[in-house]
Amino acid sequence: MDTKTELAGGCLCGSVRLTAKPKNNNVDACHCVMCRKWGGGPFFSASCGDAVKFEGNENITIFSSSEWAERGFCQKCGTHLFYRLKHEEHYAIPVGLFDCDNEWKLTDQIFIDQKPTFYSLAENTTNLTGEEVFSQYSKK
């Protein structure tokens, strides 16, 4: 996928629409306890930096899930819309929101140390523990 490609998507009920420019066609899977509680399983997302625009902002509710991050969802249908770092405007958008079926590729798994044993993903990915993820952000 070209990094200039803008993708459109939205929630289940259509009250929130978005356009975003993913940095690439990579998909990250987060296995942290919060993501699994949020969605019932790993959070599969595309990294979009700050290149995200929403329509229907009045229908977005934001939950501050930690000191550094927040999660947005549609207040009408409950669709998960984003995970965002508070201090960087970094958006992780669920890949399932996008209207098109792009050439997504699962490349990274984070919080692999919190992944339960009842599932595994077959793709050969970069796997980081929670400690390794936090270490990367502390270097910025």
- Give residue 96's region: left, alpha or beta (phi > 0; psi -120 to 50): alpha
Provide, rounded to the nearest whole percent, the portion of the chain with pLDDT above 90: 83
Let me know if domain 7-138 sits in CATH 3.40.50.300. no
Q: How is the chain split among helix, strand and coil, in percent rounded to 5?
A: 20, 40, 40
**Mean of pLDDT values over 80-103:** 91
Q: Which residues is 90 bridged to in the sheet?
A: 85
Burial of 78 (0-12, 13-18, 19+ CB in 10 A): exposed
Distance, CA of 11 to CA of 38 (rounded, Å): 16
Query: With bands split at pLDDT 50, 70 and 90, how would you rate the model's confidence at 123?
Result: very high
**Mean of pLDDT values over 47-72:** 95
H/E segment holding residue 87: none
**Mean of pLDDT values over 87-107:** 91
pLDDT tens sequence across 14-45: 999 999 999 999 999 999 999 999 999 999 99
- 48, pLDDT greater than 60: yes
